Structure 1
Amino acid sequence: MIVTFDLFSALTDTRTGASRTFDAIARRRGWSQTGEELYDRWDGCNKAAQRTAEHPTSFREVSLGALAEAYGALGVDPALAGADLAELHAGAGDWPLWPDVAAGVAAVAEQARVGLLSNVDDDLARLTRAHALVDPSLVLSSQRLGAFKPDPRIYAAAVDAAAPDRLIHVAASARDVRGALEAGIDVVRLVRPGHAVDPDGPAPAHEVTDAAELPAVRRDLARRA
């Protein structure tokens, strides 16, 4: 059995980490926006862009276009997006994990192989703190799989990459939970602040509020296989 985790919602407190960088950029340039405001606008544009992104477009290219769009909407010069995105991604190694992650992932790793399933480029995944917690051969990135969530193709490719092992995916964001469920994958929703289930999508049968609960859910899923 292989258990994959979403990198930037289930494992990483991305909003806190990225907002710090945006806040530093805003203060340095004398902008009125807070780091959280900049992050939220960029994140919304980024997620929308990923819905229609096609291989071989990279995550970095998608994120750059989204940041330029966000800056334009906020009255900031979009030409600054390239340097700011580079600064943002360079700091990804400092983005904090959620407090339950290190122990929770380690506990799952005692029972199964663990990896990542994420809309990300491989080099960015390697910078993150979560990368050290998983099997590097199971970093199933959009770059590696040739698609972006919530496209069903990324989930189908993840199942193929896990074969002959069974795949369980731990997701937090609404689009990831819905996308994986609609692709027919066993999903465990890990509840995180700022994320909810898509009301128009299927409801996850398995939900936990702490990563420490994941080993028990995995055992239950294994018994039902």
Structure 2
Amino acid sequence: MPFRLSDFDAVTFDVFGTLIDWEPAIVAFLRRWADGHDRSAPSDAELLMAFDRARAVFQAERPAYLYPDILRRCFDHIAAEFGIPADAATRDAFAASPHAWPAYADSHVGLATLQRHAKIGALSNIDDASLQSACRHLDIRFDILVTAERVGAYKPDWPHFHTAIADLEALGIPRGRILHVGQSLRADITPANRLGLTCAWINRPSRALGLSGEGAAQARPDLTVSSLAALVAMLTGEQAIA
């Protein structure tokens, strides 16, 4: 085993996709909307990948939009791509949907187990209010919180990472004692590599967001697992317990 939890003083996490299971909710929303207008609507995979491409474009724009506006622009982009009507009420409902996205079953227990031994942080491409909802779903209080709203940028841009590193350094934790964990190759693993951070890829089964696009093919995780529970077991040698 390459690492133990004793090698680190802090573990930072991507949130949506890594700890919050957003893909099924996104697909279900877009599926209901598309099927309501066109019985020959695009497949689930086509809708999801259209969302993935669109968010990468809008998240790169500066000054940065708040995440609800990213979702509104993604919705309009998907509607235009597939020729499906985009009404304002459905667009706004999509923008509010992060508040209802659920946590993975292993997220709370895994985070609580790690937090008994190390600081934990959230580095999320989201707005502050939506991350507060996610924390309620996770039933956890992170030691540091870095959002796109706070830093005015979206991963894979580096302000999230620079801010988290500075926050942890203020707690006496150097960069070499940080483990960063993410599901997105594009937004988390590749920039972590470039910044010299040790990183773990949680390759959740049947999840696709963030696994393609610019930089994804260059990602080189130091550790790959299929769940947070598996990561905790590898780091601690024990099963996560509540």
Please state if 1:101 is matched with 2:112: no
| Length-normalised TM-score, structure 2 | 0.76
Query: Counterpart in 2 of 1:38?
Result: 47
Query: Counterpart in 2 of 1:223?
Result: none
| CA separation of 1:214 and 1:69: change in aligned 2, threshold 3 A | same
Paired residues of 1:115 and 1:135 also in contact (CA < 8 A): no
Query: Counterpart in 1 of 2:125?
Result: 119
Query: Counterpart in 1 of 2:30?
Result: 22
Query: Counterpart in 2 of 1:214?
Result: 231
Q: Which structure dedicates a bigger proportion of its chain to helix?
A: 1
Paired residues of 1:113 and 1:135 also in contact (CA < 8 A): no
Cα-Cα RMSD: 2.8
SS in 1 for 2:49: helix
Please state if 1:147 is matched with 2:153: yes
Question: How many angstroms does 1:56 deviate by?
Answer: 4.3
| CA separation of 1:31 and 1:93: change in aligned 2, threshold 3 A | farther
Question: How many angstroms does 1:48 deviate by?
Answer: 3.0
* Structure 1 residues without counterparts, runs of 5 or longer: 221-225
Alignment of 1:1-225 (within 5 A): 1-29=9-37, 32-33=40-41, 36=44, 37-50=46-59, 52-78=60-86, 80=87, 82-128=88-134, 132-136=138-142, 138-163=144-169, 164-166=172-174, 167-175=178-186, 176-193=188-205, 194-195=207-208, 196=211, 200-215=217-232, 218=235
In 2, the alpha carbon distance for the partners of 1:107 and 1:34 equals 41
In 2, the alpha carbon distance for the partners of 1:43 and 1:83 equals 22
Deviations 1:164-223, CA, capped at 9 Å, x for gaps:
324321111111211121122221111113344866414111222221233355569xxx
| Length-normalised TM-score, structure 1 | 0.81
Percentage of identical aligned residues? 23
Paired residues of 1:111 and 1:215 also in contact (CA < 8 A): no
Paired residues of 2:108 and 2:140 also in contact (CA < 8 A): no
Paired residues of 2:99 and 2:133 also in contact (CA < 8 A): yes
SS in 1 for 2:18: helix
